Structure 1
Amino acid sequence: MPNAFEQILTDEQRSYQEVAERFAAERLAPGYQERDASEMLDPGIIREMGALGLIGSDLPEEFGGLGLDGFTNGLLFEAIAHADINVGYLQLVGSLMGKVIAKFAHPEVSAQWLPKIIAGEAVVGLGLTEPRGGSDAANLILRAQRVGDEYILDGEKTSMSFSDQADGAVVFARTGKADDGARGVSGFMVPLDLPGIKRTRFRDVGTKCVGRGSVFFDSVRIPANHLLGSEGGGFVQIMQGFDYSRALIGLQCMGAAQASVDESWTYIQEREAFGSPLARYQGVTFPLAEADTMLMACRQLCYHTLRLRDLGKEHTAEAAMCKWLGPKTAVDVIHQCLLTHGHYGYTMDMAHQQRLRDVMGLEIGDGTAQIMKMIVARRRIGSIAAQHQTRRQA
């Protein structure tokens, strides 16, 4: 895998990256297709990742995390995804849900869940999407009613990753009136082994070892201290986190696509046609050169976004760019690599078809391309309007 930042990484960053690359190559890459067939993640692998600090590495040290910055955490994401983008989902939910819990949870709840997430002893999913909502994430029906020292949850969450494997979930529910919109949404840390919870799994095209499905809540009671932050603040909490996760998702896609490109460069040097290696033909090498170029460009955008975040600067538009460009670029690149391998590339024996199926899901999950472009457009239009107003006042 090309190291785009070899000359600017600190010794510490390179050390973390090497740990992730070694684990990915030795423990993850050989079992990539087997995990797809089993449709489950091995708990042993999850604990190994935790022991190496590869889950929630950006979470506070007081809970067992490494306290890494977003840029360094991105290096780990890309390294793991190069071997198995699906295992990278553990990092994604670990960082995204872990940040929400660390910032907004009651101290007792944080102390209970964060060390387990970081150690790979618990997986916490995101319960946001509902059947009628989709991209309209604030349009929630699932209800959380306060009764004494408890909240009672009723409703359904759908399209949740790790739906039947997660130990808990950060669930967003309506505590206010229906016409309150996003202001009436609150977040909760919900253990998924409580009475009244039922779970299903969808028959998806890809990300099979992660699994995606619905979780049903039938008068599920949780302690009041499982509320995250204050009532009505839930939607804002998770939206802030998405600016971070969208850049990380872009790097997940880059890691998977780069694996296919690396394999393709090796293949065209070994495969012969008309008495010469395929690598002698520009019609074969040019598409791969273009693929490397596009991956490098998208990778730079993702790390630039993470650097902006680490510096405390605005990065919402850049994160949205990462989220729509990353999956699209990966789909296009992996497709080309499959074609480069000819008829053999079309078989289930090779990993290109699985990577293609796996990255396709990220064209939908965590915000579609249309939603991401809408975010970019709104930021751009708002910036132009602000500049125009400034000139008028001057």
Structure 2
Amino acid sequence: MFDLYQLSEEHKAIREAVREVCDAKVAPNAAHADETGEFPQVSLDALRASDFHAPHVPEEYGGAGADALATAIVIEEVARACASSSLIPAVNKLGTMPLLLSASAELKQRYLPKVAAGEGMFSYCLSEPEAGSDAAAMTTRAVRDEDHYVLNGVKRWITNAGVSEYYTVFAVTEPGVGAKGISAFVVEKADAGVSFGAPERKLGIKGSPTREVYLDNVRIPADRLIGAPGTGFATAMRTLDHTRVTIAAQAIGIAQGALDASLAYVKERRQFGKPIADFQGVQFMLADMGMRLTAARELTYAAAARSERDDADLTYYGAAAKCFASDVAMAITTDAVQLLGGYGYTKDFPLERMMRDAKITQIYEGTNQVQRIVMARQLLKGII
């Protein structure tokens, strides 16, 4: 489909276009979103005007129809400017991927054009207070009542909750059978009984609200079921195989932003009569940062190619890309703060924000400890 070792002209053009939008409209608001914790509406407006808010939505639903690599590039470039804003395209993909994988034609046609048109964002509701890494232990229930389902429960750590209009919610429809009793549904913000907790007070990505979602006797039509009853958990796991690539892309975008800022600083900062970029110790740090970032980017793009083809080894590559890229982002942003010395520790420069933002990429959509379990199981099965 595309050469992993040389981006197509189309992919290069997408990168240039996104970077232009982000440099002009997204980056200038990144510090404000972090400082205030306000959702970056200016970023959403700019991305929506350029059709980068949900680039993955297929053309048949009015979307840009970007492939998995192009979508990763969009998220990477937005994250380079503002990690909080990169969760707009990333979470739109996360929330709608279950529909793309498993929903009926009618359900896709009902919601995907709205996301493509920017009429509402889509969030993903899997985790609960007592069901994080062990997602199959969820207790949210969906009980059939003639031609409706009634949902009750609490979802936690939901990205863009309260801002998104639509939510993919996973709930138990058949208790006592574990993962095979879980189903997936589309819930709307406007549905009676839907409410939200207070925004979490977070270390990073402060401009992207994270809240609990409360479901109190939420009655929805049965045709909002995604796929067949009992297939929700399988859909959730297949979704994460694809969207872990987007978290890897977010991580390398944050890391690239940190490296860019570091390079600019060390060429300007002078000590002992010359730029600190001339010192071998600094050069070794820069070389390691660049080497790690290049490796992470290549692995992420390789995973994106497998996502596009839905290859049998996607589970391994998605986990590997997410785990490696997020570890790299944490290392690079930490080194970047070190390179700037005392300045790196202040809010006058963006590095401390990038370092804080990078941390979450090692945690959400499956902690990196879970990713290593996933990879090991794939290796033991002989899939890789």
TM class by smaller structure = over 0.9
SS in 2 for 1:164: coil
Q: How do 1:106-145 residues align onto structure 2 when only pairs under 5 Å count?
A: 106-145=104-143
Kept after mapping to 1: 8 A contact 2:162/2:189: no
Structure 2 distance, partners of 1:252, 1:213, is 21
Q: Does 1:82 align with 2:80?
A: yes
**Inter-partner Cα distance in structure 1 for 2:85 and 2:330:** 18
Q: Indicate whether 1:13 and 2:11 are aligned.
A: yes
The code of the aligned residue for 1:122 comes to: G
How far off its partner does 1:98 sit? 2.1
CA contact (8 A) 1:47 1:121 kept: no
Q: How far apart are residue 193 of structure 1 and its match? A: 2.3
Match of residue 162 from structure 2? 164
Q: Which structure 2 residues correspond to residues 178-327 of structure 1 after superposition, within 5 A?
A: 179-200=176-197, 201-313=199-311, 314-327=313-326
Q: 1:351 to 1:6 in 2, by over 3 A?
A: farther
Whether 2:47 is the aligned partner of 1:63: answer: no
CA contact (8 A) 1:94 1:118 kept: no
1:14-73 per-residue CA deviation (whole Å, 9 max, x = no partner) reads: 222211111111111111111112322244532331232213222211211122221222
2:124 counterpart of 1:147: no
1:292 Cα offset (Å):
0.6
In 2, Cα distance between the equivalents of 1:308 and 1:7? 14
Residue-by-residue CA offset, 1:255-312 (whole Å, 9 max, x unaligned):
1111111111111111110111101111112111100100000111010111123334
Offset, 1:110:
2.7
Partner in structure 2 of residue 332 of structure 1: 331
Matched residue of 2:137: which SS? coil
Secondary structure of the residue aligned to 2:212 is strand
Aligned equivalents of 1:52, 1:133: Cα separation in 2: 37
Larger radius of gyration: 1
**Uncovered stretches (5+) of structure 2, i.e. residues with no partner:** none
Rate the CA distance shift 1:277–1:78 in 2: closer, same or farther, 3 A. Answer: same
| 1:102-148 CA distance string (max 9 Å, x none) | 34334444333212222322111111001111100111100000101
Aligned equivalents of 1:378 and 1:108: distance in 2?
A: 36
CA distance in 2, matches of 1:260, 1:342: 14
Q: For residues 210 and 265 of structure 2, what CA distance do their matches in structure 1 show?
A: 34
Shift of 1:362: 1.8
Q: Say whether residues 1:354 and 2:353 are aligned partners.
A: yes
Q: Which moved more, 1:37-46 or 1:189-198?
A: 37-46
Q: SS at the partner of 2:382? A: helix
Residue equivalent to 2:367: 368
**Matching residue's letter, 2:347:** M
Indicate conservation of the 8 Å contact 1:100/1:237, yes or no.
yes
Answer with 59-68 or 270-279: which moved more: 59-68
Taking structure 1 as the reference length, the TM-score comes to: 0.92
1:56/1:98 contact within 8 Å kept:
no
The corresponding residue for 1:27 is 25
Is contact 2:183–2:232 with CA below 8 Å preserved after alignment? yes
Name the SS for the 2:136 alignment partner: coil
Whether the 8 Å CA contact 2:94–2:123 is kept in 1: the answer is: no
How far apart are the structure 2 equivalents of 1:321 and 1:107? 32
Output the CA distance in 2 between the equivalents of 1:234 and 1:51.
33
Distance, in Å, in 2 between the alignment partners of 1:319 and 1:267 is 34
Distance, in Å, in 2 between the alignment partners of 1:82 and 1:218 is 39
Which segment drifts farther, 67-76 or 371-380?
67-76
Aligned length: 380
Runs of 4+ residues over 6 Å off in structure 1: none
Q: Tell me how far 1:6 sits from its aligned partner.
A: 11
Question: Which one-letter code corresponds to 1:263 in the other structure?
Answer: A
Take 2:333 and 2:107, find their aligned partners in 1: how far apart are those partners?
A: 42
Instruction: State the SS of the aligned residue for 1:360.
Output: helix
Q: 1:263 to 1:43 in 2, by over 3 A?
A: closer
Residue 147 of structure 1 aligns to which amino acid in structure 2? D
- In structure 2, the CA distance between the partners of 1:269 and 1:42, relative to structure 1 (3 Å rule), is closer
In the TM superposition, residue 7 of structure 1 has moved relative to its aligned partner by 7.8
Query: Identity rate of aligned residues, in percent?
Result: 31
Structure 1: 5+ residue stretches without partners: 387-394
Quote the Cα distance in structure 1 between the aligned partners of 2:167 and 2:77. 26
The more displaced of 12-21 and 108-117 is: 108-117
